[in-house]
Amino acid sequence: MTLHEEIRYLQKKHNAVILAHNYQPGEVQDIADFTGDSLELARKAADIHAAVIVFCGVHFMAETAAILNPGATVLLPAADAGCPMADMITGGQLRELKAQHPTAKVLCYVNSTAEVKAESDCCVTSANSVAVAQSYPPGQEIIFVPDRNLGSFTAEKSGHTFFLCPGFCPTHARLTVAHICSAREAHPGALVLVHPECQKPVRDAADAVLSTGGMCRYVQERPENTFIIGTETGVLHRLRKENPGKTFFPLLESAVCPEMKKITLEKILWSLRDMQTIIAVPEPVSLRARRAIDAMLAIH
> Of residues 227-286, which lie at the interface with ligand SF4 (CB under 6 A)?
232, 257, 259-260
**194: helix, strand or coil:** strand
Which one of 169, 190, 251, 269 is in contact with ligand SF4 (CB under 6 A)?
169
C-alpha distances (whole Å) from 282 to each of 61, 92, 95, 118 are: 16, 17, 19, 11
Among 188, 208, 189, residue whose Cα is nearest residue 198: 208
Cβ contact 37:213 at 8 Å: yes
Sequence length of the chain is 300
With contacts defined by CB under 6 A, name the span among 42-50, 119-127, 133-141, 266-274 that binds ligand 13P: 119-127
Distance of CA 293 to the CA centre of its chain: 14
By the rule CB under 6 A, 37 interacts with ligand SF4: no
By the rule CB under 6 A, 85 interacts with ligand SF4: yes
Beta-carbon contacts of 261 under 8 Å, excluding residues fewer than 6 positions away, are 24, 25, 234
Task: State the binding partner of 126 from ligand SF4, ligand 13P, none, CB within 5 to 8 A by kind.
Answer: ligand 13P
Task: State the binding partner of 7 from ligand 13P, ligand SF4, none, CB within 5 to 8 A by kind.
Answer: none
Which one of 37, 63, 115, 121 is in contact with ligand 13P (CB under 6 A)?
37
With contacts defined by CB under 6 A, name the span among 68-76, 79-87, 148-156, 274-282 that binds ligand SF4: 79-87
With contacts defined by CB under 6 A, name the span among 3-11, 65-73, 74-82, 125-133 that binds ligand 13P: 125-133
Beta carbon nearer to ligand SF4, 7 or 67: 67
Half-sphere exposure of 56 (CA within 13 A, CB side): 32
Distance CA 241, CA 176 (A): 27
> Of residues 176-205, which lie at the interface with ligand SF4 (CB under 6 A)?
197
Long-range contacts formed by 245-249: CB under 8 A, 24+ apart: 246/219, 247/190, 248/219, 249/183, 249/186, 249/187, 249/190
Strand order across the beta sheet in which 16-21 lies: 34-36, 16-21, 52-56, 73-75
By the rule CB under 6 A, 19 interacts with ligand SF4: no
Which one of 29, 64, 112, 125 is in contact with ligand 13P (CB under 6 A)?
125
Beta carbon nearer to ligand 13P, 10 or 124: 124
Task: For residue 122, give the H/E element and its range.
Answer: strand 122-124
Beta-carbon contacts of 12 under 8 Å, excluding residues fewer than 6 positions away, are none
By the rule CB under 6 A, 38 interacts with ligand 13P: yes
By the rule CB under 6 A, 111 interacts with ligand 13P: yes
Half-sphere exposure of 223 (CA within 13 A, CB side): 0
By the rule CB under 6 A, 91 interacts with ligand SF4: no
Minimum CB separation from ligand SF4 for residue 41, in Å? 12
Task: State the binding partner of 125 from ligand SF4, ligand 13P, none, CB within 5 to 8 A by kind.
Answer: ligand 13P
By the rule CB under 6 A, 111 interacts with ligand SF4: yes
> Of residues 187-246, which lie at the interface with ligand 13P (CB under 6 A)?
197, 211-212
Distance CA 61, CA 44 (A): 12
User: Where on the chain is the footprint of ligand 13P (CB under 6 A)?
Assistant: 37-38, 83, 111, 125-127, 169, 197, 211-212
User: Where on the chain is the footprint of ligand SF4 (CB under 6 A)?
Assistant: 23, 58, 83-85, 111, 169-171, 197, 232, 257, 259-260
